[in-house]
Amino acid sequence: MRVYSIFRSFDGESNGFSGPGESTTFVRLAGCNLVTDTNPGCVGCDTKYAQDADAGREMSVTEVLDRIHTNKITITGGEPLLQWSEGDQNLEMLVDKLVKERKKITIETNGSMALPHKGRKGLRFIVDWKLPSSGQETQNLMDNIYLMDVRDVFKFVVRDRKDFDRATQIIRGMLSGRKKAKVSIGCIWNELDLQTLWTWVQEEKLDVQLNIQLHKMVWGDDSNKVEDDVGKV
């Protein structure tokens, strides 16, 4: 696996388990399928440093496991599902090892790739739904709506009112009546404040979870520097 960083911290956002503040080990994989010669990736991405498939270094499943000392693990990127079955040391192998150890596992994905077959106890998917300001709305894979269950979370990240109105349309449309995955909504750091977002949620009477960025509240704009200081492999 191509790994950018491994570090111990806490989940700053919805994680499918106890939520923000839960102690976890982050495993950030390198590479993002949304970044190509003709596509610069998401506007406002806060982990551009992990987009390059050559970032970080190759690590075996055993090497990664040796760096994990928490009961909860958050696997993120980049886009981690790019490495689900790639190579003889891949993400699926890592997840199966963690499941056998009865760990709690969250995989954060950009929503453009099909979710692997579930059936793994302790595994949750946090799936982005790209909104207009991201520049990647056409990349949303609609089939994921039917692949998620009550343990998983759809995540909307809102920059402005246009984004919020689109999220509301999706929640009341395609997600309406599907009592499976949870829905969380948050905002881009320093672009929209949580109070404004929650006021809109209340006005529209949306039954969603407010997704805060607790790590940003603790470290502010230095949150990525903290990761590099303690976790870059």
Taking only the tens place, the pLDDT of each residue in 56-67 is 999 999 999 999
Closest CA to 157 of 173, 176, 140, 145: 140
pLDDT of residue 23 exceeding 90, the answer is: yes
**Where are the alpha helices (H) located in 42-135, listed in sequence order?**
61-66, 91-100
Residue 49 and residue 55 in contact, taking contact as beta carbons nearer than 8 Å: yes
* Chain-centre distance for alpha carbon 218: 19
Domain extent, residue 124, equals 2-231
Letter for the amino acid at 32? Answer: C
What's the pLDDT at 220? 81
Closest CA to 11 of 69, 78, 73: 73
Question: The domain that contains 126 carries what CATH number?
Answer: 3.20.20.70
What's the pLDDT at 54? 93
What's the pLDDT at 225? 63
Residue 156 and residue 181 in contact, taking contact as beta carbons nearer than 8 Å: no
**Distance (Å, rounded) from C-alpha 233 to C-alpha 217?**
25
pLDDT of residue 230 exceeding 90, the answer is: no
pLDDT class of 229 with cuts at 50, 70, 90: low
Closest CA to 181 of 127, 122, 107: 127
Average pLDDT over residues 39-60: 91
The number of domains in the chain is: 1
User: Does the model's pTM come out above 0.75?
Assistant: yes
Residues 193-217 have pLDDT tens digits of 999 999 999 999 999 999 998 988 8
What's the pLDDT at 233? 74
**Distance (Å, rounded) from C-alpha 215 to C-alpha 186?**
13
What's the pLDDT at 223? 67
Q: Across the strands, what pairs with 8?
A: 25
